[in-house]
Chain A
Amino acid sequence: MQERTALPPQFDRPIMLGGLLAGAVATPLLVVLVALRVVGLISSPEVVFWMAFGVVLAGALGTVMLSNIVHAALALVFTLLGIAAIYLLLGQEFLALAQVLVYGGGVTILIVFGLMLTNATEDPIVSDGAQKPFAFGVGILLALVFAVALLGHHWPAVGPAVISGAEFGERLFGEYTLAILTVGVLLDIALSGALLIARPDSPEESAE
């Protein structure tokens, strides 16, 4: 029986702290949302939306702010899954599914592999560059500009159209056959290229 190795302490505490923090923030919010629903101020989809909203943004902030890269990757997964929920709210079954599969599965795993291969945890944990303050300013300004642009416009008050997976599939492989095939070829080429780039040049190199 193999002896179980304990997690290194630098993994332990932040996770527990993060979990506690998330719970402390999320629980009152959840309570408020449920209360609002019970009172009848917001509808059920809206409750779901605001929950997903919170998860997506919290995950995004975690992705860009956590200093531990593995934690950041974990936060990214939360964001991507939250976005899948948003897709469902927008009535897109298939896209939500694709989001979970491709992002929640494939991309995340790729990234974690990348982290492993580059020994990222061994790097000195200074994960942010010197221009962080500038980046912060730019991000705030950009958010303001977009918010003004998007919300300043008067959008028609209609609901989202629900498109089922079957309908999506029919149209995708009917009208857009050529496009989907082209994307397939593109993916193929891109991944072959990735392989070519990442492959070691010489036996000595691969031996390292």
Chain B
Amino acid sequence: MTMEQVWLLPAIPAGVFVILSLFNRVLPRRGDFVAVLGMGTVVVLAVLAIADFQGAFHDGHFAPAPGANTYEFTWVNIGDGVLRIMFSTYFDAITAVMVFVVSFVALMVFLFSIGYMHGEERYGWYFAVLSLFAGAMLLLVTTNSLIFLYLAWEGVGLTSYLLIGFYWERQSAAEAAKKAFITTRVGDVGFLIGIILLWRVAGTFDIQELIHLAEEGAFSETYLTVSMIFLFMGAVGKSAQFPLHVWLPDAMEGPTPVSALIHAATMVVAGVYLVARTLPIFDLVPIAQNFVLYTGLFTAVMAATQGLVANDIKRVLAYSTVSQLGFMFVALGLGSVTAAMFHLLTHAFFKSLLFLGSGSVIHATHQQEVEHLGGLWRKLPITTVTFSIGSLALAGIVPFAGFWSKDEILLEAFELNPFAYAVLAGTAALTALYTTRVVLLTFAGRPRDQHAYDHAHESGPIMLLPLVLLATLALGSGFVAFDGVGRALGFVGGIGQVVTSHGEPHSFAFHPNIAVPATVLALLAIGAGFEYWGGNAIRAERARQWAPELHALLVNRYYMDNLYQAFIDRVVLGLAGIVARFEKSVVNESGVDGGAQTLNWMGFRLKFLQTGRIPNYALGMALGVLVLSIFALGGGE
């Protein structure tokens, strides 16, 4: 398996999807082993491809032999080059990170799902769609063509829709699926417009070629700015950034492993991936890049504050995901692919760990509101430990993974944009606060729902294995920042050497003046969390009553959903009503029915020609014969 053959990675899960969707009812165990084996193969192949990637470094730079990391053939060729769509793959450091994250987390989630989804009615279909998702996601991260990227983009959107609405018998799940699909569609339209704008000037969908052309100045700066902002709209929708973030918390209606895979680790980072992939172009247009930066910054703060008050364990994690994605966009806005991809990597591990942990809790108690949980550490020791590791990673505590990647982002911000640094540091503290809150409310204290507590039991090994593996990575994956660790794994160095920003490798350096305040802030936040939620409920209630208006604002999600609902009710439906009336009165009644009525009237008049009397018909025939004879006579002479 070389970098050239990376197209195999999406092909395998896609094939699994075909097999499972057709035969899941006849296969033993509904074919879940097919999905797991397929995903396992993908992980192995991905690791082999990464090994091949490791060999392509010369003098510390990624320098593959020409064509060694690409694969392409012409998919569509209209007018000999007027519209040429290539299927192409491209493998570089970003791809390497994404391929590993996607395939590994997917495998973990597949394994976890065997236990979590056991006994579901649509068990086989679940694995089929999950495989299709994996295929689409792998295509998304390996392709080099914007058209295929868009295709995969919609593919993951579709599977997301199908999986959020997996329990479609439940009204809220169906609504959430629709909301997710439509909200991301708003962004996707912008994405498509961006693609077309780029193609219009460049005449190609090839990302690397586009980057090359942009650097050569093929586009005017304004044009490029507009195009890239449109492109970024797609990322905003898919990665749930403000103002299109509203779908992600609702997406928690889906099965929890799905939330772990799609709505935490992989699909939602597609937007981050897209911006990282096209970052050389964003670098050329500061306005668009600042747009990315401030969108991410605002989202990070906003989502973190909402995470503080959410009561659904999965919703807390969802807000946290939105917030962390904001962190990544800030890094990208600052021009640091390294920091963004690093945080993406660690976040994928600890966030999927947290989701799977919450899945374990839900599986054990059938409750996901923190009001019904509490004190579970006695019943679910392994889940508690792994969940806590994930939480510490999320909170950014040394030496867990999140610390290193968050530190990298904070470092970039400190150097380039002190304002962003200040905001992010505050947000990191908020993160620690809400993480502490959810851990304490779930696992510590006294059980608030005795019935749920009594029936709780630790999950089986098939579910604990992914938890433990992911916990290991949540603990250890941050160390890839160090050159020594990177070299030990076969890379040229730490992640800064591999995933380079602006093509300049750099080594990790520890900056105490950044790391220490951040850690202290986080620890203070954790302490505050213990103060409020660690003990009895009175203090928690006091925290809630500290500023009731603020609390209401947060619980109501800044009234964003109400605003959108009002917008849809008034503006969209109003316009739709006008269009509908126009359609009804002008198009339908005058255009369609009018023509029909005219014909009807004519038919009514003309039908009296049909007397039914044979002599009349004979007369008509005779007249015809006469006319023809006269013509023949004239023609003959």
> Footprint of B on A, CB under 8 Å?
129, 131, 134-135, 138, 141-142, 145-146, 148-149, 152
Contacts and interface: CB of A to CB of B under 8 A. Distances in A.
A58 B626 CA distance: 24
B619 A142 contact: no
B509 interface: no
A145 B619 contact: no
Contact of B629 (A134, A142, A152): A142
Given A131-B619, A141-B626, A145-B633, 6 more contacts: A129-B615, A135-B619, A142-B622, A146-B629, A149-B632, A149-B633
B546 to A, nearest CB: 100
Contacts of B636: 149
21 contacts: A129-B615, A131-B615, A131-B616, A131-B619, A134-B619, A135-B622, A138-B619, A138-B622, A138-B623, A138-B626, A142-B622, A142-B626, A142-B629, A145-B626, A145-B629, A145-B630, A145-B633, A146-B629, A148-B633, A149-B629, A149-B636
Contacts of A141: 626
Interface residue SS majority, chain B: helix
A129 B623 CA distance: 17
Contacts of A148: 633
Interface of B: 613, 615-616, 619, 622-623, 625-626, 629-630, 632-633, 636-637
Contacts of A138: 619, 622-623, 626
B439 to A, nearest CB: 95
Contacts of A149: 629, 632-633, 636
Contacts of A142: 622, 625-626, 629
Nearest to A146: B629
Contacts of A134: 619
A127 to B, nearest CB: 12
A138 B613 CA distance: 18
A138 B616 CA distance: 13
B22 to A, nearest CB: 59
A141 B623 CA distance: 10
**Nearest 10 pairs between A and B by C-beta?**
A145-B629, A138-B622, A129-B615, A149-B633, A131-B619, A141-B626, A134-B619, A131-B615, A142-B626, A145-B633
A34 to B, nearest CB: 38
Nearest to A129: B615
Contacts of B632: 149
Contacts of B629: 142, 145-146, 149
A190 B37 CA distance: 78
Nearest to A135: B619
A118 to B, nearest CB: 16
B269 to A, nearest CB: 84
Contacts of A129: 613, 615
A79 to B, nearest CB: 21
Contacts of A131: 615-616, 619
Nearest to B636: A149
Contacts of B637: 152
Nearest to A142: B626
A26 B581 CA distance: 84
A135 B637 CA distance: 27
Contacts of A146: 629
Nearest to A128: B615
A141 B619 CA distance: 13
Contacts of B633: 145, 148-149
B420 to A, nearest CB: 98
